[in-house]
Structure 1
Amino acid sequence: MTAVTALLGYAVLLGAFGPRLLRARGWTERAPRLGVLAWQTAGASVLGAVILAGLILAVPIVEAPHALSDLLAACRLMLRVHYESAPQPIAGYTGILVSGAILLWTAGHIVAAFGTTAIQRRRHARALAMVARRHVDLDALVVEYDQPLAYCVPGRHRCVVLSTGALEHLDEEQVSAVLAHEHAHLAGRHHLAINTAMAFGRAFPGVPLLRAARSEVPRLLELLADDVAARQHDRVTLAAALVTVANGRTPAMALGAGGGTALLRVRRLLAPHDPLSRTERLTGGVGIALLAALPLALAANPAITALLERHCHFPG
């Protein structure tokens, strides 16, 4: 039960205080790729800890035997202890029920999130096929629309869409910068991370960490796409382009250069933070590895302890 308590305590603490830790000192804005990985790993770590706690209740730990006969006897003993005593069946069935329910609930929301956006993208692709024209030089689709608009549609029918208003208000270099931003989304498959974050947040809206990730992951991916575009184009040029397309209404299943965070991103482009140092990146990587490994370590600790007690004999 110690491992179960530790896993549940870890899940509660990370789920409640994780957003404060991940937002501390704005380090994710200085390294958005690392930030996205941290948010997603932390969310998976919370869910994994609860699932492992349920499995531990269902699978009691026994000492590792030396021989085959001991192994068979231990298995028989484990089954008897697990099913003949009164408290164990309740705890075991509860653990299986909780773990299975979380897995199915999460998987259902993931399938729904990816399935819904896939259907929306197919419908949008059919609509674009009727109203848009391909601009060969830009490798983009152009739609007749007065308002400056730029977005990309990921997935099987991936494409970048520009409005005629965007082409009229942006100069050639600004158009190239916007296209670089959108191609960064497509190349990085950012929609996968966004759909996963949305699915986790919708499945467990009461968990502060998962709820906050629904807005933080898309925001950080926009910063990441800005950084990729800024390596190829002048930051001032990109910032000016973002201001122009900031008010464009992007379809729900698409990723756009504008949006509600555009003005904040413009400030970041014009007054960029120093990137994380190599030591800070290494520290962040170690922290993410710990988030992934700690639930497994807590769950495996009773089995490792039993194995060492049985096989490692230390002189008294």
Structure 2
Amino acid sequence: MFDHFLLSVVIVPPVFVAVVRLLADRFAPSLAAGVLAWTAATAAVASMANLAVFALHAAAEVPVVGQTFGWSSRVVADDTANVAWVPWLSVALLAAATGSVAHRWRVHRAALRRARRQAPAAGGLVLVPDDAATAFAVPGRPGHVVVTTGMRATLSARQFDALLAHENAHLAGGHHRLVRAAELAAAAHPALRWVARHVGYLVERAADEQAAAAVGSRRTVAHAIGAAALASAGTAPGLNAGAPGLNAAAPGGVVPRRVAELLRPRARANLWALSALPVGLAVFTIAWTGEAIYDLGELIGLAHR
């Protein structure tokens, strides 16, 4: 069974990151964001499932557990005798991953609750009287866009239209789900942290492209992004802490790159064929996890004899 741990927990996640680093910027950002987020989540689930299998293996090695359920704990222990540390290491790794995912989930839920409480709305645009320059999308049913008066005063009418189109693109595309899935995947496995950061960038790029199509000018959107970023620079976290990853002037040093992409667009393919490799890796690791579960069941059956 050690090969399941080695492949799904140790090898596949970093290989997945290497693959998406090569492919992520070669196709349309909206497609890339979805593929990266959900395949990373799949790889993380498979990794945690394999850890759970080995944690159960560790529990099955305990003599009192074997006596309780009527199997030989020695037979179970012999299965990984050459790597006896793996099941017990898996227990610790599973506990750490579960705690990390639970913490990240609570952070996301708390951020959304805070944003909805600070700027409640039934949908549409919420203009908040605040000198700090902030604008972000708040997901919901329906979602809404929050803009402070400080941000509104910074932008021209055309730039403001571009900003609203950007934030509405986040809501229409369900980008908060992609950001959340990627960040939960990163919480489950540290190797996937780059993917989470890149999904955050890709959803902003996807919203930029949709805003450019909506207002009919890539240059206007680029100017709006630059103006919003300059206006919000140095602003203390406040309302904009409510919906991380869903604001036009997203932090992280990617604004110049986004502006450059708008002003000097590169041709990209919107082809699912480009996503075959990361999707294939995710499917493979899920199938491999299924085999690990089957092998554990078979081992317990053998230990019953």
Normalising by structure 2, report the TM-score. Answer: 0.71
Preserved contact between residue 222 and residue 259 of structure 2 (Cα < 8 Å): yes
What are the residue-to-residue correspondences of 1:99-178 with 2, within 5 Å? Answer: 105-128=96-119, 139-155=124-140, 158-178=143-163
* 1:238-267 alpha-carbon deviations (Å, 9 max, x no partner): 111111101324622322111332222111
1:140/1:109 Cα in 2 relative to 1: closer, same or farther (>3 Å)? same
How big is the shift at 1:58? 5.9
Amino acid in structure 1 at the alignment position of 2:50: L
Residue 296 of structure 1: aligned partner: 286
| Alpha-carbon contact 1:184-1:225 (below 8 Å) kept | yes
Contact 1:152-1:256 at 8 Å conserved across structures: yes
Contact 2:130 2:148 in 1 (8 A): yes
Query: Could you tell me which of 28, 43, 46 is aligned with 1:45?
Result: 43
Residue number in structure 2 paired with 1:257: 248
Give the alignment partner of residue 202 of structure 2, picking from 212, 220, 243.
Answer: 220
Q: Is the 8 A contact 1:8 1:53 kept in 2?
A: no
Per the alignment, do residues 94 and 192 of structure 1 end up closer, same or farther by CA in structure 2, a change over 3 Å counting?
farther
CA contact (8 A) 1:174 1:241 kept: yes
Identity rate of aligned residues, in percent? Answer: 25
| 1:198 corresponding residue in structure 2 | 183
- Structure 2 CA distance for aligned equivalents of residues 216 and 245 of structure 1: 21
Matched, 1:270 2:263: yes
Measured in 2, the distance between the counterparts of 1:145 and 1:42 equals 38
The change in CA–CA distance for 1:51 and 1:223 in structure 2 (over 3 A counts) is: same
Name the residue aligned to 2:227: 244
Cα deviation, residue 271, structure 1: 0.8
- Contact kept? 1:53, 1:95, Cα under 8 Å: no
Q: Distance in 2 between matches of 1:282 and 1:122?
A: 39
Q: Return the offset for 1:270.
A: 0.7
User: Quick one: distance in 1 between partners of 2:8 and 2:80?
Assistant: 23
Partner of residue 66, structure 1: none
User: In the alignment, what sits opposite 1:8?
Assistant: 6
Task: Report SS of the residue matched to 1:246.
Answer: helix
Structure 1 position 235, deviation (Å):
0.9
CA distance in 1, matches of 2:140, 2:85: 40
Q: Which residue of 2 aligns with 1:71?
A: none
- Determine the structure 2 residue equivalent to 1:287: 277
Letter matched to residue 15 of structure 1:
P
* 1:56 shift after superposition: 7.4
Note if 1:185 corresponds to 2:170: yes
Matched-pair contact (CA < 8 Å) for 2:33–2:203: no
Secondary structure of the residue that 1:23 maps to in structure 2? Answer: helix
- Please say which structure displays the higher CA radius of gyration: 1
| CA RMSD after TM alignment | 3.8
- Structure 2: where are the runs of 5+ without partners? 58-69, 296-305
Give the 3-state SS of the residue equivalent to 1:256 in structure 2: coil
